[in-house]
Chains A and B, each alone.
Chain A
Amino acid sequence: MKKEVLKLFKQIGAIAIVTFHELIREKILWSSFLFGILCVGLAYAVSQLSFVESARIALSFGLTAVSIVGGLISVVMGASLIAKEVQNRTLYLVLTKSVWRWQLVLGRYLGLCGVLVLNTACMIFILFVVFLFLGGSFQIQFLQCLLLQLIELGILSSIACIFSAFTTPTLAAVFTLGIWVIGHAMEGFQIVVKKAEISGLLNGVLNILIQVLPDLTRFDVKAQIAHTLPLTWLYTMHTVFYGVSYIVFALVLSCFIFSKRDL
């Protein structure tokens, strides 16, 4: 039994490694990464416009850039994660091995996560070098921010995975992008729904949407970091739990959809 479980994980690992290899070669990754680095450089330039708090301005600007670049990579690469395997027909050979379809989805997802972790870690590292150079000092909140940023990217990728399991990469990217935007406007969306006093079916539908769509505003702690506002570990862990639960739900859904798909 234990051996069988180990074998399942080894197979998922093999798929994740190949996916990582595949994605790391993508031009979109490198151009996004370069764009991110440019933004961090720009953050330094912008910070020079101010005589005070230049380090915090650079940090705030840089974190926004890292978040946007990471999000774009998640959307674009996540959207083609499974669809590309279907289009390229490389999955035929994989699925004729003793591999379940859910293992393929999970392996591909983990491969993408590897790329996102590497990409985000590199950009954050460069940003912090700039931050320290401008006179900033290390705070533990940076790690909390990095963790929440990665979880948000994980959620976006898992949503992209759902769409990628049944539609084309372009449509999957459009849908995921929409959810990303809505997810970041969720707080405002909730207030509008409450205040508008909508009744009946529409209210029900909107409330279901609020429950189902991810609330990405929870992961946005850039303001707390830039202005040294308190960010408790309890909040961080609570948000991580929410994010991981959402990822699990999204992955289960994508595995289910993909397992039912005729190839």
Chain B
Amino acid sequence: MIMSQTQAIIVDNVSKKFQTSLLKPLLALNQVSFLVPRGEVFGFLGPNGAGKTTLIKIIVGILKADHGKCFIVDSQGIPIESFKRKAKLKLGYLPERPYFHDFLTTTEFLLFHGRLMGLPDDEIYAKIPGLLEKVGLSASRHQKLRTFSKGMLQRIGFAQTLLHDPDVLVLDEPMSGLDPVGRREIRDIITQISQTGKTIFFSTHIIHDVEVICTTVGFVQNGSLKGAGNIEFLLGKTLKSMEVRYSLPEKMGPILSPLLSASRKTMDGWALDIESTPDELEKKINEILSLILQQKGIIKSVSPRKSTLEDIFFEGSKASLSGVQK
């Protein structure tokens, strides 16, 4: 495991079992290892029950791993074990559902969490207006949390994560259960926070959220990491096919050549999807383009068709991610 200043979170060979029955323990995490780069938005994808929340609990120090360790790397590049108090000072955590002391008002809630972080009261009071402004809750300063909608609870949850200005934010399914407007608001807050240079690690099973805001991603399934890496890299690596659009001279059709026989008719000519392994794709395209030109055809466009994260998640995750950072 490489440790450097460019990492924010290090998950090193983490395994966790739960004794759900006397005879057969449940293996929630099985030797999971990956790195979260500093300053990036890391999406932790996996179906329900895959082990996302368990790993998050280990990262934020609520649970201890049976094997392996999680580290939070400070700005000097020194890794600190995640259950240590010093590591918690670097972390902000938003749980899956906003389970807060709902009898408190917004101000009381932030004051409580600020005090738990050891901040002086005057510093907390000074920070509150700015934080509420940031999450769009300035008008609800004296409102009790029990009167809040779920979206508002998530936003006040964000405010408490930022109270002590942590380097790393760990968000457990921050957008689950929200309506489209609420999801958009939370997405905007995450984007806004990520622009300040903070590292954001969030779990979700909603692929679209990851595609929109994440720069890196990790996939977990049945407690095992299937892969992790840069989204662009993952999608590039799993190039699915190329589409060639072309036209041929009058009275000539693609039927003349076996290579072009799979073409389909379009409004202004023909289109052909070329599927192959990444290594052979280039060679095959060159052959097809040469053939079209030989037949005095016109090439209108050649466009790559990459896999989406959804494709990787549902079909190819296991195979296509092999070789990516594990």
A187 within 8 A of B: no
B187 within 8 A of A: no
Name the contact of B99 in the complex, choosing from A18, A93, A95 (C-beta under 8 A): A93
B171: min CB distance to chain A, Å: 12
Number of A-B residue pairs at CB separation under 8 A = 68
Contact (Cβ within 8 A) B99 A262 = no
Contact (Cβ within 8 A) A98 B116 = yes
> Which B residues touch A22, using CB under 8 A?
101, 103
B278: min CB distance to chain A, Å: 42
A90 within 8 A of B: yes
B91 within 8 A of A: yes
* Chain B residues near A (Cβ < 8 Å): 18, 57, 60-64, 85-86, 88-89, 91, 93, 95, 97, 99-101, 103-104, 112-113, 115-118, 160
Contact (Cβ within 8 A) B101 A263 = no
Task: Give the complex CA separation of A13 and B91 in angstroms.
Answer: 22
Chain A 30-60 per-residue mask, 1 if CB under 8 angstroms from chain B, else 0: 0000000000000000000000000000000
Contact (Cβ within 8 A) B113 A88 = no
> Which A residues touch B89, using CB under 8 A?
98
Chain A 13-25 per-residue mask, 1 if CB under 8 angstroms from chain B, else 0: 1110110011001
> Which B residues touch A88, using CB under 8 A?
99
Known contacts A93-B160, A96-B93, A97-B88, A18 near B57 by CB under 8 Å:
no
What are 22 A-B pairs at a CB distance below 8 A?
A: A7-B118, A10-B115, A11-B115, A11-B116, A14-B112, A14-B115, A18-B104, A21-B101, A21-B104, A88-B99, A93-B93, A93-B113, A93-B160, A94-B116, A95-B62, A97-B88, A97-B116, A98-B85, A98-B118, A99-B85, A263-B57, A263-B62
Known contacts A14-B112, A21-B104, A90-B101, A262 near B63 by CB under 8 Å:
yes
* Interface hub of B104, B115, B160 (most chain A Cβ within 10 A): B115
Inter-chain pairs besides A11-B118, A17-B112, A98-B116, 7 sampled, C-beta below 8 Å: A11-B116, A18-B112, A21-B103, A93-B100, A95-B61, A96-B88, A97-B88
> Which B residues touch A238, using CB under 8 A?
none
Known contacts A10-B115, A10-B118, A263-B57, A92 near B99 by CB under 8 Å:
yes
Task: Give the complex CA separation of A262 and B83 in angstroms.
Answer: 13
> Which A residues touch B88, using CB under 8 A?
96-98
> Which B residues touch A15, using CB under 8 A?
116
* Interface hub of B64, B112, B118 (most chain A Cβ within 10 A): B118
Task: Give the complex CA separation of A17 and B108 in angstroms.
Answer: 11
Known contacts A11-B116, A18-B112, A262-B18, A92 near B62 by CB under 8 Å:
yes
A94: min CB distance to chain B, Å: 6
A194 within 8 A of B: no
Contact (Cβ within 8 A) A93 B95 = yes
Q: Secondary structure at chain B's binding surface: helix, strand, loop or mixed?
A: loop
A57-89 at interface with B (beta carbon < 8 Å): 88-89
* B91 nearest in chain A by CB position: A96
> Which B residues touch A89, using CB under 8 A?
95, 97, 99
A150: min CB distance to chain B, Å: 26
* Interface hub of B18, B62, B113, B160 (most chain A Cβ within 10 A): B62
Contact (Cβ within 8 A) B103 A99 = no
A100 within 8 A of B: yes
Q: Please name the 7 residue pairs, one residue from A and one from B, whose CB atoms are nearest each other, closest first.
A: A14-B115, A97-B116, A89-B99, A96-B93, A98-B85, A96-B60, A98-B88
Task: Give the complex CA separation of A13 and B113 in angstroms.
Answer: 12
> Which A residues touch B91, using CB under 8 A?
96
* B85 nearest in chain A by CB position: A98
Task: Give the complex CA separation of A263 and B18 in angstroms.
Answer: 11
A3: min CB distance to chain B, Å: 10
A164-180 at interface with B (beta carbon < 8 Å): none
Chain A 88-112 per-residue mask, 1 if CB under 8 angstroms from chain B, else 0: 1110111111111000000000000
* B157 nearest in chain A by CB position: A93
> Which A residues touch B62, using CB under 8 A?
92, 95-96, 263
> Which A residues touch B93, using CB under 8 A?
92-93, 96
Task: Give the complex CA separation of A13 and B156 in angstroms.
Answer: 23
> Which B residues touch A13, using CB under 8 A?
115
* Interface hub of B64, B85, B99 (most chain A Cβ within 10 A): B99
* B86 nearest in chain A by CB position: A98
A93: min CB distance to chain B, Å: 6
Contact (Cβ within 8 A) B18 A92 = no
Task: Give the complex CA separation of A17 and B103 in angstroms.
Answer: 12
Known contacts A95-B61, A96-B91, A262-B18, A90 near B100 by CB under 8 Å:
yes
B58: min CB distance to chain A, Å: 11
